Chains A and B, each alone.
Chain A
Amino acid sequence: MTNEEIKLFISAHIPAATFDESGEFLNVIIASEELLPIMKELRSNRDLEFDYLFCLTCIDWKDHLMMVYHLLSKKHRHVIVIKAKITDVNDPQIETVCGIWKTAEFHEREVYDLFGVKFINHPDLRRIFLMDDWEGWPLRKNYVDENMIEI
């Protein structure tokens, strides 16, 4: 499918979705509540078949958190970037996509560890890199650590 067709497909499912084509890939920005149904559709639809989640991360924009999912279809060779906006910075929550792509389990644990985003229905949501008793979410912009020596 071309980018235009993908745009039409997503608009049909989520009318509120906005698109950004300024970068290399087609970016789709949606609200965090709408994530799971559209992800399931993107994976299972025969014309789209995004079977490979190659990057999952989060960006802290201070007033909101942005989950970023890079998807690729091995069969159709097209790439799409889904961005889910989480507005509640104090208690960020989003549905897990573990059930769709198994690689998400580790990547989501990493995002939980470094950003504090809670993934609903995640099978094993624990800190992955830091100790269990670590305080704070290090990659947040407002993270302070007295042991950290800043330039």
Chain B
Amino acid sequence: MSLLGEDIVTEDGEFVINMGPQHPSTHGVLHLKIWLDGETIKRVQPHLGYIHRSIEKMSENLSYRNFIFATSRMDYLSAHINNEACALCVEKGLQIEATPRAQVIRILMAELTRLSSHQLWWGCTGLDLGAVTPFFYAFREREAIMEIMEETCGARLTMNYMVPGGVMYDIHPNFQKRVKDVMKQIKNNLHEYFEILTGNVIFENRTKGVGYLSKEDAISYGVTGPTGRASGVSCDVRKWFPYEGYDKVQFDEILDNCGDCYARYMVRMKEMDQSVSIIEQLIDNIPEGDFQTKTKNVIKLPKGEFYQRVETARGELGVFIVSDGAASPYRIKYRSPNFSNLSAIDHMARGAKIGDLIAIMATLDLVIPDIDR
């Protein structure tokens, strides 16, 4: 009997299995119900909510300074970028801007976060597809970035460093030197990533031509981020709707038209290069000045609706604040990238083998608390 109390063989002779909520390759507590004909997938139905923490309801009772912390626990691998989205949205309502110094610090932090997130994804993809070594290689660089984060923000994972008007503290005196060291280390070591996994025959066979998603479907499903760009959809928010001065730095939007797992893998690998390049452009050019614009102790947004989007490591995160003039938001909606990306999984997995589903999930790079919120 399955978890849902239904039969495991349907009338058509299809075999129904439940993958998750406790499964090592679902990266958390995703529950997929899969209809199989032999080994071929007929249908996939995601069951969500195993980590639905009601962040939106909670935020309705928190002040505009305090609601930001919960977003670091949503997509914890891009915690900085989530905080940034909230801070930007409140700033949009107040019609202020962060100081130039704060803006550059924010970009640097966001790109470091993106790097560490992609590194963790790379390690986990290896684990899912049967290679354990990448995990250790990925954490070598990731730990170096975590140390920088800890030195400046005081936390390794859930930083809560962005506040409306800037950042909470100034950067640590060692920051620039350590970032440069890490960038050097990453540039020297990035080729190892390709040597270990990219050219591997098993890896290529398991990812090439698997989990195809066309451009039209990607747009219709609202798929964004590296997953969308691997299907040829230009959707980088940093290019489309530049924020924080992303229009002043040089970087490319990586696009690939193949739309399969291997394309998604390559897009993320190339994005790491771009992040390194952004950081190198800015690390010596942090403007002097204040790290925070002065704001009132109790922030009250004017009546109205404010929408801010940013590019997290997984795609487009939208923060939609509805204000009725009070000191806490009337309604907050997070448009999370993973939620939309996951909705395409049924479409991508149909007709594939059960083993391919692991590759599809690995390259979608899902973070479950971001889906459930």
B219 lies within 8 A of A128 (CB): no
List the count of A-B residue pairs having beta carbons below 8 Å apart. 79
Q: For residue A53, which residues in chain B have a CB less than 8 angstroms away from its CB?
A: 222
Q: For residue A106, which residues in chain B have a CB less than 8 angstroms away from its CB?
A: 339-340, 342-343
A102 lies within 8 A of B52 (CB): no
Q: How far is the CA of A105 from the CA of B343 in the complex (A)?
A: 8
Q: For residue B347, which residues in chain A have a CB less than 8 angstroms away from its CB?
A: 102
Q: For residue B57, which residues in chain A have a CB less than 8 angstroms away from its CB?
A: 138-139
B299 CB, nearest partner CB in chain A, Å: 18
Q: For residue B351, which residues in chain A have a CB less than 8 angstroms away from its CB?
A: none
Main SS class of interface, B: mixed
Q: How far is the CA of A52 from the CA of B304 in the complex (A)?
A: 24
Q: For residue A127, which residues in chain B have a CB less than 8 angstroms away from its CB?
A: 49
B306 lies within 8 A of A24 (CB): yes
Q: How far is the CA of A27 from the CA of B306 in the complex (A)?
A: 12
Q: How far is the CA of A101 from the CA of B233 in the complex (A)?
A: 16
* Nearest B residue (CB) for A111: B333
Given A106-B340, A129-B372, A55 and B333 touching (CB < 8 A)? yes
Flag whether A51 is at the interface (Cβ < 8 A): yes
A54 CB contact (under 8 Å) in B54, B318, B331, B342: B318
Number of residues on chain B facing chain A (CB within 8 A): 36
B56 CB contact (under 8 Å) in A54, A131, A139, A151: A139
Taking CB atoms and an 8 Å cut-off, the chain B residues in 67-115 that contact chain A are 92
Main SS class of interface, A: loop
Q: Which positions in B face A, CB cutoff 8 Å?
A: 48-49, 52, 54, 56-57, 61, 92, 217, 219-222, 233-234, 240, 304-307, 309, 316, 318, 320, 322, 330-331, 333, 335, 339-340, 342-344, 347, 372
Q: Which positions in A face B, CB cutoff 8 Å?
A: 22-25, 27, 51-55, 57, 59-60, 68, 70, 74, 77, 101-103, 105-107, 110, 114, 127-131, 138-139, 150-151
New A-B contacts (8) at CB < 8 Å, excluding given A60-B331, A150-B61: A51-B219, A51-B220, A55-B307, A55-B320, A57-B333, A77-B240, A129-B52, A138-B57
8 inter-chain pairs at a CB distance below 8 angstroms, sorted by A residue, are: A54-B309, A55-B307, A70-B307, A74-B219, A106-B342, A127-B49, A129-B49, A150-B61
